[in-house]
Structure formats: structure tokens, C-alpha cells
Structure 1
Amino acid sequence: MFLFTLDLKNEPGELAYVGESLGQRDINVELGAVTLGDHGLVSLTASDEDAARAALMEASLPYTEHPALQIKCADRPGELGRIGRLLADAGINIEGLVPVSICQGEAVFAAAFDKMDDARRVLGDLVID
């Protein structure tokens, strides 16, 4: 699994263009976005990663991609802090985090880390293979 990150202008239509470009190829996405002044960062997972790469390139949308792990945890207060602390105490930085599903008391996220192997070891059974 990969996280795709795009740096977009913070203006009307930018996110629509991304969605249209991927949607035209029947690519489903889960995404997270944040705006920072005149730019916005969008991180997403794609149902078809090869098709997403082709669609983004065809649409002239520069992106970066990072390997990601699927992480499952309880959907309750404190879980983000607990997992974040496990990683921080091991010197692992979270480089991207996108919610994939939240259902019936369980949350699943796609997450990229600066030290993927260490993150997999530290998170143990929280990682979905």
C-alpha cells in the first residue's frame, strides 16, 4: 500500500480536479487534506495504485508516494496518543496518516513512517497484513 501526497494551490477547483482525474479511471480514494496558507496538502490511498499513478501523471499533478502500513485500533479517546507515544518513544516519525475506515468501534488508518520496519515491529498486532 502507498500514500500519495499532492501539494495543491489552496483555491477552488484544485481538489475537484484531483477527484475528477482519478474518478474518470474508476479509482476510489480515501483522503486527508490540510490547507497551509496558499497551499494545501492532500494525502490519499487509491483502490488501484498503478492507475492512480497514470491518472495523476496524465493530469500533470505532481505527487510523492510513500509505502504505508494499515493500522487498526479501537475507535476511542486516547488511541491516537497511545499509538503516537509508542512510535515517538521508539524514535519513529509519522509522515502521513489517512483514515481508511471507522466502523463498529474500530478504526483503520493507512500510515507512512520514516522507519517502516521499526514501525511494523513496534506496532506489532496493530498492523494489518
Structure 2
Amino acid sequence: MAGRLASSRPTRSSTTSRSSTTDSAVTHGRYVHAEHPEPQVVEVLRRLDLADRIDPFTRCLRCNGHLEDIAKAEIEHRLAPLTRLHYNDFRHCRECDRLYWRGSHQQRLADQVATIRAELGMAAGPIDTASAGTAAG
């Protein structure tokens, strides 16, 4: 049943493999020409006219739910000792309750978004870095 259900739904795919775009299970496919991740993102955003919809660090990586601020006191019992010690600002997913905070790689992620925006010819927009980074839950 799961196979029938899955095959009855439209499947969308972006790929760097030409054979994947001809797979009969894929109903909407795009071949991505760029070979590296940042140029791939730029290519897809341009091709699908999505550049104005860039809203980084506002969605859950697990379920795509919306993130919202949450007080440390509400989730302190869920934090690892070093996270509890070093971080104070947290967000969580309204749908699956996964936690996010500014991890050590936050600046690198923000820089990648800035590079993508620049490549698209966009002004540097606000980046919600409170949720850029580490997740738990």
C-alpha cells in the first residue's frame, strides 16, 4: 500500500543526473547543470524564480515547520550540559519541537546565504541567525 500511495503522488526532483529526470516516478524534474552546492542553489532559485522567497533559518530542517523563539527555562532540561552553559537564545519547531540555537558553524551558514544573495544580485537581507546552526530533538 505504501508503494501505491507514494507512486500516486507527484514526485518533484532536482538532480545532476540526467537519468534521474527520465525516471517514470518523477513527474516534475529539473536537471541542475552546476556541480557545486552554492551554484546549484543559485541555479535552482533563478530557474524557478524563487529568489524573492529566500527566508533562511526560519524553517525546521526535519519537518519544514515554522521556528519560533522559546525561553531557555522552558527547554533547559533537554539541553546537553555544555549547550546549557554556553548558549542562551533558542528556537523550536512548532510542529515537531526540535530545538535550534546559534552553533559554532552559524557564521559559516550566514556567509553562505550572503554569497547566494550576492550571486543573485540581491541586497544583503536580514538573516535570522538565532536558528542558524545546531539542532537537537
Using structure 2 for the length normalisation, give the TM-score: 0.23
> Higher RCO, 1 or 2 (CA under 8 Å, sep at least 6)?
1
Q: Greater helix percent: which structure?
A: 2
Using structure 1 for the length normalisation, give the TM-score: 0.24
Bigger CA radius of gyration:
2
Q: Greater strand percent: which structure?
A: 1
